[in-house]
């Protein structure tokens, strides 16, 4: 909640008394996520703002065909913007298509003070042609054949997991799942065969910096979780389309708005068993005693949420395997956010290679540039491997040379494990080519029956460094992208904390 532009944390006892348990100002430089009220109210301001009406009239666009939506402007160390809740508005021409993101009002920048509800800055610097609406409508009814004939998917008629309130049990797994406004859901108190694995895990942040530096694009450096709330962006999952037959759905009740009124999102989470023809384990032999063909099907349990943030839809799957693996999958789908441009075909203006390289995007259709951008997904994993006493271990794969008199082999590699003694030692920049390594969360007080330390291996995938300069303001704010693994002893576990401008 924000009072007098200052974020506050307020905890209310909802058990019956209605008493305010805690009410304190949150220190530091930051701001809460955009509220639904602020997004809706600011989106209507351009309709009564004469400079904007002049801009759309010059483009031949009727006000009834204009759709505007609120976006967070990021942070760029501008003193005039400090201690203000700012919203930038992105406006589109909706005529002829439901895919409004393919028809932006390029060059228009609208800055709004969301507290005073007024436009404080307006720019119209570019008159790029409006991309055509032809062929952009993604709805099935608007598509033209021929269409592929899809085979019927396999159906698990009688799922073998149980859901008791928020407790899920399946194949030796037991965990608690609950909806969350910021991260969509939180997986907690995870156990396998009665042994603790993880206290809680959730999406921490999604950093999406676009690479155009023009006046109306440079600020598009979104923090999708902290600025928008992934749970708030979640629409009800559709049975049979978003989740397979036999899925179990979970509703979410959130408190939102300045008065804390609750609202319900139906089908925010779905839980289902998945079998896609994969093999969990296999081995075959031709032996004198007879042929051996052994194979086990791979069945997994999936906890799914989907966030629809503007043009993008993020699909998050927490997948539990029978072999003890927890796999987190992320898919980015939806439609493109494009930049309108005068170019109709590549090198129309006889551009040099250097000029084409500096377009910071690709011409994907006439007058349509797909702007380069990143998606950095960060997850908070509070591990409890056989209990809360855990340490971070880096296992370095090291080449060892072999003396000629020892073997015809000249080299081999070994695994050298190092326990991080400080948090700095557990800040990892993954480079599998030059510095191959494995990573573990170890319980130093527990051993297996063979005497090995009880550990759980972390396997980061799809990792990439940020190419932004360390002094660039978006990179300062998203400093967590510098390292692909950050292990801390006393990580703040409140998933609902407000979004920090600086790190």
Q: What is the pLDDT of residues 232-283, one digit of tens each?
A: 889 999 999 999 988 999 999 987 655 677 889 999 999 999 998 999 999 9
Residue 503 has pLDDT above 60, yes or no: no
pLDDT at 429: 94
Higher-confidence residue of 314 and 502: namely: 314
| Mean pLDDT over the full length of the chain | 90
pLDDT at 320: 98
Contacts of residue 328, defined as CB under 8 A and 6 or more positions apart, other chains included, come to 201, 316, 317, 318, 319, 379
- Length of the chain (residues): 503
Residue 133 has pLDDT above 70, yes or no: yes
φ/ψ (deg, to 5) at 462: 65, 30
pLDDT at 141: 85
Catalytic residue (choose from 93, 124, 216, 224)? 224
Q: Are 84 and 115 in contact (CB under 8 A)?
A: yes
Only one residue has tokens 């998933």, namely 495
Percent of the chain at pLDDT exceeding 90: 71
Residue 496 has pLDDT above 70, yes or no: no
Q: Please, which pLDDT band fits residue 1 given cuts at 50, 70 and 90?
A: low
Contacts of residue 405, defined as CB under 8 A and 6 or more positions apart, other chains included, come to none
Q: Give the span between the Cα atoms of 503 and 483, in whole angstroms.
A: 13
pLDDT at 154: 65
pLDDT at 359: 87
The sign one gets for the Cα dihedral 466, 467, 470, 471 is negative
**Paired tokens of 423:** 């948090």
pLDDT at 61: 95
Partner residues linked to 170 by β-bridges: 173
pLDDT at 37: 83
Fold of 32-139: Nuclear Transport Factor 2; Chain: A, (3.10.450)
pLDDT at 351: 82
Q: Whose CA is closest to 117, among 140, 141, 85, 154?
A: 85
Q: Please, which pLDDT band fits residue 4 given cuts at 50, 70 and 90?
A: low
Q: Are 120 and 111 in contact (CB under 8 A)?
A: yes
Q: Give the span between the Cα atoms of 112 and 22, in whole angstroms.
A: 31
pLDDT at 498: 33
| Number of other residues whose CB lies within 10 A of the CB of residue 345 | 7
- Give the residue range(s) of CATH 2.70.98.20 domains in the chain: 162-384+464-500
Residue 499 has pLDDT above 50, yes or no: no
Asked if 224 is an active-site residue, the reply is: yes
- Give the residue range(s) of CATH 3.10.450.40 domains in the chain: 32-139
Lowest mean pLDDT among 162-176, 250-264, 329-343, 426-440: 250-264
pLDDT at 193: 97
Mean pLDDT of the region 435-458: 96
pLDDT at 31: 74
Lowest mean pLDDT among 90-94, 150-154, 464-468: 150-154
Mean pLDDT of the region 284-298: 92
pLDDT at 223: 95
Catalytic residue (choose from 31, 312, 456, 498)? 312
φ/ψ (deg, to 5) at 15: -75, -10
Lowest mean pLDDT among 130-139, 208-217, 247-256, 485-494: 485-494
Residue 329 has pLDDT above 90, yes or no: yes
**Paired tokens of 117:** 């509800």
Residue 17 has pLDDT above 90, yes or no: no
Which of 2.70.98.20, 2.60.40.10, 2.40.33.20, 1.10.540.10 is the CATH number of 162-384+464-500?
2.70.98.20
Q: Give the span between the Cα atoms of 25 and 198, in whole angstroms.
A: 31
The burial class, CB within 10 Å (0-12 / 13-18 / 19+), for 222 is: buried
**Paired tokens of 275:** 């079998």
Q: Whose CA is closest to 305, among 228, 236, 393, 399?
A: 236
Mean pLDDT of the region 397-417: 97
Predicted model pTM: 0.91
Percent of the chain at pLDDT exceeding 70: 93
Contacts of residue 227, defined as CB under 8 A and 6 or more positions apart, other chains included, come to 33, 34, 72, 499
Buried b (16+ CB within 10 A) or exposed e, 22-52: eeeebeeebbbbbbeebbeebbebbeebeeb
Q: Please, which pLDDT band fits residue 493 given cuts at 50, 70 and 90?
A: very low
């Amino acid at each position: 909640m924000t009072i007098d532009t200052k974020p506050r944390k307020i905890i209310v006892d909802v058990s019956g008394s209605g008493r305010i348990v805690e009410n304190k100002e949150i220190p530091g430089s930051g701001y809460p996520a955009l509220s639904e009220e602020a997004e809706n109210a600011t989106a209507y301001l351009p309709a009564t703002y004469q400079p904007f009406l002049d801009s759309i009239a010059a483009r031949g666009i009727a006000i009834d065909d204009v759709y505007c939506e609120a976006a967070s402007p990021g942070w760029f160390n501008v003193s005039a913007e400090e201690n203000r809740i700012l919203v930038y508005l992105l406006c589109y021409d909706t005529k002829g298509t439901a895919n409004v993101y393919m028809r932006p009002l390029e060059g228009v920048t609208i800055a709004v003070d969301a507290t005073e509800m007024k436009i404080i800055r307006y720019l119209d610097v570019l008159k790029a042609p409006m991309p055509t609406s032809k062929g952009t409508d993604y709805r099935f009814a608007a598509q033209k054949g021929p269409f592929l004939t899809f085979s019927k998917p396999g159906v698990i008629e009688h799922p073998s997991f149980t859901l008791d309130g928020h407790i899920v049990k399946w194949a030796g797994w037991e965990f608690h799942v609950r909806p969350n406004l910021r991260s969509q859901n939180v997986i907690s108190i995870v156990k396998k065969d009665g042994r603790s694995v993880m206290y809680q895990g959730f999406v921490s942040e999604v950093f999406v910096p676009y690479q155009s530096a023009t006046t109306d694009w440079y600020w598009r450096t979104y923090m999708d979780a902290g600025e928008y709330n992934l749970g708030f962006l979640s629409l009800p999952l559709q049975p049979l389309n978003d989740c397979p037959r036999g899925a179990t759905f979970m509703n979410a009740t959130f408190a939102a708005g300045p008065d804390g009124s609750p609202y319900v999102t139906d089908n925010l989470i779905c839980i289902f068993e998945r079998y896609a023809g994969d093999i969990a384990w296999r081995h075959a032999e031709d032996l004198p005693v007879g042929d051996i063909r052994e194979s086990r099907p791979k069945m997994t349990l999936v906890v799914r949420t989907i966030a629809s943030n503007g043009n993008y839809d993020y699909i998050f799957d927490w997948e539990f395997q029978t072999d003890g693996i927890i796999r987190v999958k992320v898919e980015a789908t939806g439609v493109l956010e494009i930049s309108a441009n005068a170019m109709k075909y590549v090198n129309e203006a006889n551009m040099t290679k250097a000029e084409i390289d500096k377009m910071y995007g690709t011409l994907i259709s006439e007058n349509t540039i797909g702007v380069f951008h990143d998606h950095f997904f960060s997850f908070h994993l509070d591990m409890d491997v056989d209990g809360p006493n855990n340490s971070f271990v880096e296992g370095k794969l090291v080449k060892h040379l072999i003396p000629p008199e020892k073997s015809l082999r000249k080299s081999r590699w070994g695994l050298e494990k190092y326990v991080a003694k400080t948090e700095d030692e557990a800040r990892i920049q993954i480079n599998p080519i030059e510095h191959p390594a494995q990573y573990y969360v170890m319980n130093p007080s527990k051993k297996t029956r063979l005497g090995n330390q009880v550990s759980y291996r972390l396997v980061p995938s799809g990792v990439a460094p940020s190419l932004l300069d360390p002094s660039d303001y978006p990179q300062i704010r998203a400093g967590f992208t510098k390292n692909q693994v950050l292990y801390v002893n006393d990580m703040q576990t409140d998933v609902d904390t407000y979004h920090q401008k600086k790190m």
